Amino acid sequence: MVGLVLFLFGLLVTVGMCGYAAVSDFRGYRIPNIISIIIFAAFVVVYGALSLLGQEHIVFRPLMNHVGAALLVFVVTLALFGLKLFGAGDSKFATVIALWVGLPGLIPFLFYMSLAGGVIAAFSLVLKRKKLFSSPSEGGWIAKAQEGHPSIPYGIALAVGALAAFVFIGYFNFSRWGEAF
pLDDT at 45: 97
pLDDT at 104: 94
pLDDT at 180: 67
Digitized pLDDT (tens) for each residue of the chain, 181 residues in all:
888 899 999 999 999 999 999 999 999 999 999 999 999 999 999 999 999 999 999 999 999 999 999 999 999 999 999 999 999 999 999 999 999 999 999 999 999 999 999 999 999 999 999 888 888 888 899 999 999 998 999 999 999 999 999 999 999 987 776 666 6
Please report, for residues 22, 34, 81, 148, the alpha-carbon distance to residue 89 in angstroms, rounded to integers and kept in the order given. Answer: 11, 10, 10, 22
Question: CA-CA distance, 30 to 52, in Å (whole number)?
Answer: 36
Contacts of 148 (CB under 8 A, 6+ apart): 128
Residue ranges of domains in the chain: 2-180
pLDDT at 28: 94
Of the candidates 93, 83, 50, 58, the residue with the CA atom closest to the CA atom of residue 180: 58
Per-position DSSP letters for 78-136, written without gaps between them: HHHHHTTSS-HHHHHHHHHHHHHHHHHHHHHHHHHHHHHHHHHHHHHHHHHHH---SSP
57 contacts 175 by C-beta, under 8 angstroms: no
For the entire predicted model, the pTM comes to: 0.94
Give the N- to C-terminal CA distance of the chain in Å, as an integer.
6
Question: CA-CA distance, 157 to 136, in Å (whole number)?
Answer: 21
pLDDT at 16: 98
